């Protein structure tokens, strides 16, 4: 069954590869037969995309053609997007100078980019080229700016990569706090994106930085945070690796029993790792850790056994010489304990010769100290003194660096705590302000009640005045009727204006079909945005309305309803008993906008559903 499944997968890969190759061949033929530059650019875009995915050997020939054609046609964003792949090819090919050159040539057109990510991608690649050249300050600058631009454009995954790479650069620049900040930013971005693998890489790097600066508890905490996530997916390679790292942290704390426990756990779960080379690397480090435990216990038989097992696993890795560095110090310690000083010295010299190639400077420092002690045991005091001096110098440099970093860390923690205190003070002030607002709100309610009482009294007085002025009102009815007629005529005129606008809109739609949507929108945009009811129209309308209903707005205002101008217009339309369509036409808005405006007004005045807003305002 397994054999059949493997055959099926192999066949599928062949079919997919053949399909991809056939598609590339077809696109190449189409491109060769095409004369139109615009169509050629589209074909090149698709062709290079397929070639990059298939790792086609001729991809860079077509990429260069695309960049040249894109520049010619003014599509500098596309040219920048494809230039990054050319730069990447130079970086992978060990040609960082060429990568920097092609990037800087494209950056000359930066002013013509329309997308922030165009510049960001180029800076990300140039930062990688600078890093390869060990121009760390320049690399850091490019990575930081690239990350900022990616965040601005919303490309979080590339922003996370930029922050991660910047963290690596700042570690090499020995800028401890900045490296922590960059890795923390990278972790947060990867975590939001759901990229668990790289989120764990970022945390792992944080743990390494803490460990190198002797924040062992902090390093252990970060390791365990990674471990918790890895166990969710049962990612045994990652689990075993973290167990090895934890063993190293506990060894540094001189807690050998706990270190041995984690080394054993790493060995146990390494058997679940399917990748043979990965499994060998894990077992090399785990066996080395176990040998250190037994050397500490002076159990030389077990120490030798685990050293031999580590050496066997080392030979199964993809870089046996590199991983041999992890075994040199415990091997030298073993030879010293059995009294073979010559071999111990030989091994320690090999370790010191790798000074520039090993990541852990502590191993080099320990090797210098051990050499000094071994030469002293052999009565070679000159060499003993020389190596002791090197040990002291290297240790002092490391101590100064660690002390500085620890001081900076504690200072940053203190400043963060102080900021937290400031935030607490601000929150307290906000709480007091909120209480003041509630008190003010209570006062306003009392004032509204008083105002309502005054309004009721005013209504009663007005009623008596109305009785006395009945005769005068009769005389005015005729005039009011005339004014109403004028208002109706003006309203009719406005409706006719809206119908004219609708006719114009229909003509615009016809024009769109004849001359194309884009051109018609550009040429007739001013016409389509013309409002039917202008401010002058509204002023004239309102004056005529007041002649018919002189006390309408005053009564509403006296009842405590503070309406906006748009709400006054809506109420005026309601008073004229116009339907939704007519109101929309008069105000040059959609029927949905009228409905929403009516709904907002109902909520504002607390009018019950099922009742007319106008009736509620006039009755309340």
Average pLDDT, the chain: 77
171, 212, 521 from 401: Cα distances, Å: 12, 10, 65
d(CA 202, CA 213): 17
d(CA 105, CA 563): 61
pLDDT, one tens digit per residue, over 440-490 is: 676 667 766 776 777 778 677 777 777 777 766 676 677 777 767 766 776
- In terms of average pLDDT, the best of 9-23, 337-351, 359-373, 602-616 is 337-351
For the segment 27-50, the average pLDDT, to the nearest whole number, is 85
Residues 6+ apart with CB under 8 A from 391: 365, 368, 369, 372
Q: What is the 3-state secondary structure (H, E, C) of 424-486?
A: HHHHHHHHHHHHHHHHHHHHHHHHHHHHHHHHHHHHHHHHHHHHHCHHHHHHHHHHHHHHHHH
What three-state secondary structure class fits 337?
helix
CA-closest candidate to residue 443, choices 432, 451, 454, 431: 451
Q: What is the pLDDT of residue 11?
A: 41
Count of CA atoms in the C-beta half-sphere (13 A) of 549: 16
For the segment 350-368, the average pLDDT, to the nearest whole number, is 72
Residues 6+ apart with CB under 8 A from 180: 167, 206, 209, 409
Q: What is the pLDDT of residue 120?
A: 93
Q: What is the pLDDT of residue 424?
A: 45
pLDDT, one tens digit per residue, over 96-107 is: 898 899 899 999
pLDDT, one tens digit per residue, over 600-612 is: 988 888 888 877 8
359, 361, 399, 411 from 404: Cα distances, Å: 20, 17, 8, 10
d(CA 457, CA 88): 84
For the segment 192-207, the average pLDDT, to the nearest whole number, is 79
CA-closest candidate to residue 371, choices 396, 357, 353, 397: 353
d(CA 460, CA 338): 115
Structure tokens at 44: 């090149």
**C-alpha dihedral, 113 to 119 to 122 to 123, nearest 10°:** 160
For the segment 104-125, the average pLDDT, to the nearest whole number, is 91
Residue 135 has pLDDT above 60, yes or no: yes
Q: What is the pLDDT of residue 502?
A: 64
**C-alpha dihedral, 187 to 191 to 195 to 197, nearest 10°:** 50
Residue 3 has pLDDT above 60, yes or no: no
Question: Does the CA dihedral 382-388-390-392 come out positive or negative?
Answer: negative
Residues 6+ apart with CB under 8 A from 526: none
Q: What is the pLDDT of residue 360?
A: 64
- Model-wide pTM > 0.85: no
- Assess contact for 560 and 553: CB atoms under 8 A: no
For the segment 344-353, the average pLDDT, to the nearest whole number, is 86
- The pLDDT confidence band at residue 111, using thresholds 50, 70 and 90, is very high
Q: What is the pLDDT of residue 121?
A: 92
For the segment 507-521, the average pLDDT, to the nearest whole number, is 50
pLDDT, one tens digit per residue, over 397-432 is: 666 555 555 444 444 443 344 344 444 444 555 555
Q: What is the pLDDT of residue 603?
A: 87
Count of CA atoms in the C-beta half-sphere (13 A) of 77: 5
Could you say which DSSP state residue 174 is in?
T
Long-range CB contacts for residues 235-241, cutoff 8 Å, separation at least 24: 236/269, 236/270, 236/272, 236/273, 237/273, 237/275, 237/278, 237/279, 237/282, 238/200, 239/269, 240/265, 240/266, 240/267, 240/269, 240/270, 240/273, 240/282, 240/286, 241/204, 241/266, 241/282
d(CA 143, CA 149): 10
105, 157, 332 from 386: Cα distances, Å: 52, 51, 19
Residue 141 has pLDDT above 90, yes or no: yes
- Out of 293-297, 347-351, 523-527, pick the least confident: 523-527
């Amino acid at each position: 069954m397994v054999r059949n499944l493997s055959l099926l997968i192999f066949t599928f890969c062949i079919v997919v590869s053949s399909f991809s190759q056939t598609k590339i061949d077809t696109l190449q033929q189409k491109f060769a037969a095409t004369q139109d530059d615009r169509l050629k650019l589209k074909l090149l875009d698709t062709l290079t995309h397929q070639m990059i995915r298939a790792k086609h050997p001729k991809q860079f020939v077509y990429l260069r053609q695309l960049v040249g054609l894109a520049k010619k046609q003014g599509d500098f964003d596309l040219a920048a997007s494809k230039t990054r792949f050319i730069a990447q090819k130079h970086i992978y090919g060990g040609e960082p100078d060429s990568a920097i050159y092609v990037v800087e040539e494209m950056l000359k057109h930066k002013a013509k980019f329309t997308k922030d990510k165009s510049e960001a991608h180029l800076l990300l690649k140039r930062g990688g080229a600078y890093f390869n050249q060990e121009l760390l300050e320049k690399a850091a600058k490019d990575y930081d700016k690239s990350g900022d631009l990616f965040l601005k454009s919303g490309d979080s995954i590339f922003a996370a990569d930029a922050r991660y790479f910047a963290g690596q650069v700042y570690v090499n620049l020995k800028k401890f706090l900045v490296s922590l900040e960059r890795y923390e930013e990278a972790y947060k971005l990867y975590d939001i994106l759901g990229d668990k693998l790289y989120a764990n890489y970022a945390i792992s790097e944080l743990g390494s930085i803490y460990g190198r600066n002797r924040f062992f508890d902090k390093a252990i905490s970060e390791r365990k945070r990674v471990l918790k996530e890895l166990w969710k997916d049962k990612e045994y390679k990652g689990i075993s690796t973290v167990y090895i790292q934890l063993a190293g942290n506990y060894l540094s704390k001189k807690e050998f029993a706990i270190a041995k426990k984690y080394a054993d756990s790493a060995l146990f779960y390494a058997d679940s790792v399917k990748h043979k080379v990965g499994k060998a690397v894990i077992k090399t480090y785990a066996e080395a850790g176990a040998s250190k435990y037994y050397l500490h216990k002076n159990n030389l038989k077990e120490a030798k056994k685990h050293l031999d097992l580590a050496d066997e696993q080392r030979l199964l890795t993809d870089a046996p010489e590199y991983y041999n560095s992890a075994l040199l110090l415990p091997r030298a310690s073993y030879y010293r304990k059995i009294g073979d000083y010559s071999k111990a010295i030989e091994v320690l010299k090999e370790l010191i010769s790798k000074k520039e190639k090993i990541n852990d400077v502590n191993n080099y420092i320990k090797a210098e100290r051990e050499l000094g002690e071994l030469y002293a045991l052999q009565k070679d005091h000159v060499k003993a003194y020389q190596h002791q001096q090197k040990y002291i110098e290297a240790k002092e440099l490391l101590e100064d660096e660690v002390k500085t970093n620890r001081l900076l860390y504690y200072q940053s923690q203190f400043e963060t705590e102080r900021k937290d205190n400031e935030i607490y003070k601000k929150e307290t002030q906000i709480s007091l302000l909120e209480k003041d607002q509630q008190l003010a709100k209570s006062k306003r309610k009392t004032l509204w009640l008083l105002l309502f009482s005054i309004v009721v009294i005013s209504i009663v007085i007005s009623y008596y005045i109305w009785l006395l002025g009945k005769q005068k009102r009769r005389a005015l009815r005729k005039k009011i009727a005339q004014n109403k007629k004028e208002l109706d005529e003006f309203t009719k005129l406005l409706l006719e204006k809206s119908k004219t606008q609708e006719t114009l809109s229909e003509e615009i739609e016809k024009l769109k079909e004849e001359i194309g949507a884009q051109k018609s929108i550009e040429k007739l945009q001013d016409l389509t945005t013309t409002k039917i009811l202008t401010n002058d129209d509204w002023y004239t309308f309102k004056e005529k309305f007041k002649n018919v209903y002189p006390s309408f707005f005053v009564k509403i205002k006296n009842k405590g309803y503070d309406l906006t101008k748009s709400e006054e217009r809506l109420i005026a339309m309601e008073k004229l008993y116009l339907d939704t369509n007519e109101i929309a036409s008069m105000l040059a808005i959609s029927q949905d906008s009228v409905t929403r405006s009516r709904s907002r007004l109902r909520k504002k005045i607390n009018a019950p559903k099922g009742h007319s807003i106008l009736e509620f305002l006039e009755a309340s």
